[in-house]
Amino acid sequence: MFEGQSQADIEAMMKANSEFRQLYFRHRELDKQVLDAELGVLPVDDNTLGQMKREKLAAKQRLLQMYERAH
C-alpha cells in the first residue's frame, strides 16, 4: 500500500497517530481475509467478500489521505 514511502515514515505515523495505526492494522487484516476468501480458504459469500473489499479500499484511501496531510 505504501510502496513509495519509507517504512520509517509509516512507523512514525503509527506511533504518532492512533487512528492511523488502527486503520493500518485493519487494512492488513482485511487484505489477508480477502486473499483467503479468494483462495477458498475462508468461506464467505459474494456479498460479504464485496463488503470486505469496499471496507479495505475505504481504509486505504483514508490512510493515504492521512499520510499525505502529514507529509
pLDDT tens over the chain, length 71 residues:
777 888 899 999 999 999 999 999 999 999 999 999 999 999 999 999 999 999 999 999 999 999 999 98
Range(s) of the domain holding residue 23: 7-70
Say what the pLDDT of residue 2 is.
77
In a domain, 40, yes or no: yes
Q: How far apart are CA 54 and CA 47, in angstroms?
A: 11
In a domain, 25, yes or no: yes
As for how many domains the chain has, the answer is 1
In a domain, 62, yes or no: yes
Specify the pTM: 0.88
In a domain, 1, yes or no: no
In a domain, 2, yes or no: no
Say what the pLDDT of residue 44 is.
95
In a domain, 11, yes or no: yes
Q: How far apart are CA 27 and CA 55, in angstroms?
A: 8
DSSP for residue 41: S
